[in-house]
Chain A
């Protein structure tokens, strides 16, 4: 079955989630990956949206983090202060699934501004839950479209801490959660080096050349000693993802 680069990315990101994960879900690409996992290999995964919905099981992808179907299908819905205090800060969430406008080689994210903060070229939405998701969840998965504007040498603003500006700041700050352990793009899968914490390509999606990854990355990107080929999406994964996307399109246009 043929498939798009975005489908490959979503499938590869979904595969990282396990049945016993409790996952704080960001909107957009993370939400698609998390629900694909729930509808395929991880039916028992607990999906949490920052609107307070714990154990949401939506039939279509929500447009916002607070669509009605999240609440209607959730095990329970708690207030937003409770969500951030007891469940997130209380360290009850195993995975934070994030995206951003910019990422650097240490998995730090910018979702605040492009250009200087006081006089931004582009004012982005801001932190939302991401700042504390990245330090309170057991580990962090990042999913992003791979291009040189997003994969940058230096972030314009650090909204969300990965491993820090030199790869050492996270540990130096005494943060005990793991931080970003996986970066999935439409070209490849990247994981941090055990020592330097710099992300290196560990798997290329089928048909993708190293040159493409280099051309789309704003830093001198490293490749792991052994680079695998990502297992291509199965017919079942594609079928479930396409059904989910079709239901989502119908739900959002009111058709």
Chain B
């Protein structure tokens, strides 16, 4: 059964230096509050996994939390570059960042394989491109039935997955709605999981029988974090702060301005 705890103690207990951590959320429901708590607690040498390392991973990389990044698209959607990510890759600031780069299709398949308890994922992909030449974890196998050459990548099996969801009930069952991304797969692929939620309710309420619900027994811990996905969004609660995504471009461009912003808006804030 999932245990309810404060965000601070959840991060202390579940995320350790050197862990492989996946904070997922495909544009929607990005677990910013949890990522900020990881930064405040000064975690180091993390291997971060995420399909779309957007502002949250820019902040974590710029704050020196990460040793390695597995990803498939590292930009500020619709705006441009992630300047802290770029600075780490181009100039090793604040330290070197090892990268393992994939395509979205491979990352999505790698999470699904992890959730399914398989060692690897197969897909029809990576044909004729340069990514396999720079990533030795992209390999090819022959289908034993048809002989077709298929791409193969290791399953994602993070030490801990962290996602944000709309709500949990008192028993710790969690409901996700809207763009659900790879969050369910990330939780099921991970050894440990933390779900931050907008609120805890008595009953999850009227919903389709096919709604995405993670049962309490599939989750390690739940922490209440209202607004915990801002500046991304929580369908049914608040919208995406697109103007902040645009503003981040200027904040993150300069190292000192980035540090000043992080101090005032993350480090000096209590979870």
Asked if B109 CB lies within 8 Å of chain A CBs, one says yes
Chain B, 85-112, CB within 8 A of any chain A CB: 85-86, 89-90, 101-105, 108-109, 111-112
Chain B residues with Cβ under 8 A from A112's Cβ? Answer: 101, 130-131
Asked if B75 CB lies within 8 Å of chain A CBs, one says yes
Chain A residues with Cβ under 8 A from B240's Cβ? Answer: 63-64, 67-68
Chain A, 78-101, CB within 8 A of any chain B CB: 79-81, 83-85, 88-89
| Minimum C-beta distance from B233 to chain A (A) | 6
Chain A residue total in the interface (Cβ 8 A): 56
B129 with A161: CB separation less than 8 A: yes
Asked if A52 CB lies within 8 Å of chain B CBs, one says yes
A80 with B72: CB separation less than 8 A: no
Q: A88-B105, A126-B74, A127-B73 are in contact. Are A251 and B242 (CB under 8 A)?
A: yes
A160 with B179: CB separation less than 8 A: no
Chain A residues with Cβ under 8 A from B128's Cβ? Answer: 135, 158, 161, 164, 169-170, 173, 175
Q: A125-B73, A128-B104 are in contact. Are A135 and B127 (CB under 8 A)?
A: yes
B243: contacting residue among A123, A130, A254, CB under 8 A: A254
Chain A, 30-52, CB within 8 A of any chain B CB: 50-52
Chain A residues with Cβ under 8 A from B245's Cβ? Answer: 63-64
Chain A residues with Cβ under 8 A from B36's Cβ? Answer: none
Asked if B37 CB lies within 8 Å of chain A CBs, one says no
Q: Mark B185-212, 1 if CB is under 8 A from A, else 0.
A: 1000000000000000000000000001
Asked if B118 CB lies within 8 Å of chain A CBs, one says no
B181 with A126: CB separation less than 8 A: no
By beta carbon, the residue of chain A nearest B88 is A123
